[in-house]
Amino acid sequence: MARTPSNMLALGTRAPGFTLPDTSTGNTYTLEDLQGKKGTLIMFICNHCPFVKHVNKVLVGLANTYQTKGISFIAISSNDVENYPQDHPDKMKETAREEGYSFPYLYDESQDVARAYAAACTPDFFLFDSELELVYRGQLDDSRPGNGIPVSGKDLETAMKNLLNGLPIPELQKPSIGCNIKWKETA
C-alpha cells in the first residue's frame, strides 16, 4: 500500500471548473451546478484504496451533517480504469450505493480535473469557501489503516465548522496520505 502525500495546493486558489458525469445518476454536472451556498468540499477518492475504505463511514456521516448546513460534498475518481478495473464507473455506482453516499461520485476519465487540482492521492480533500477560494486542503484526521487511531474526521470537521462560523481556518494543515492516483500511461 503506497503512502503518497497530498500536494497542498496554495490556500486562496480558486476552484478549477469542471464538467463531469455522476456515476450514480448518469447526469453530467459542472462545479457551479454542485457548489454549496456556504462551502464546497471536493474529495478525490476511489473504490479500491484501503485509505478511502478506512474513512468511508466517517465521510458519509460528515456529508450527512454538513450538507444540510450549506456545504456541498463532491467526490471525484480520476483513476485509470484500464489498469484498475475495480475503479470503473459501474463499480463506482455500486460503491456509492453500498456506502450510502449522499453526494455525487463523479468520474474524471481524462484525469484533467485531478491535474487541475494537483490531486496526488486518495483521499485528497479540498475545502472551498462560498466564493470557491481554497481555505483547507489536507487530511481528514490522523487515522490511517493499521495505526490504531480512530477515524474522527476532526481536522476537516474543524475547518468546516470554522468556515460556517466565520472563524479563521487553522493555518497548520497536514497533508492527506493515501494511495497515489493511478495515472494513465502516456505514450
- Backbone Cα Rg of the chain: 15
Position 171 scores a pLDDT of 86
With DSSP H G I counted as helix, E B as strand and the rest as coil, what are the percentages for the chain, rounded to 5? Answer: 30, 25, 50
Q: What is the mean pLDDT of residues 64-73?
A: 98
For residue 90, pLDDT over 80 is answered with yes
Q: What is the mean pLDDT of residues 114-123?
A: 96
The fraction of the chain above a pLDDT of 70, given in percent, is 98
Residue 187: pLDDT band with limits 50, 70, 90: low
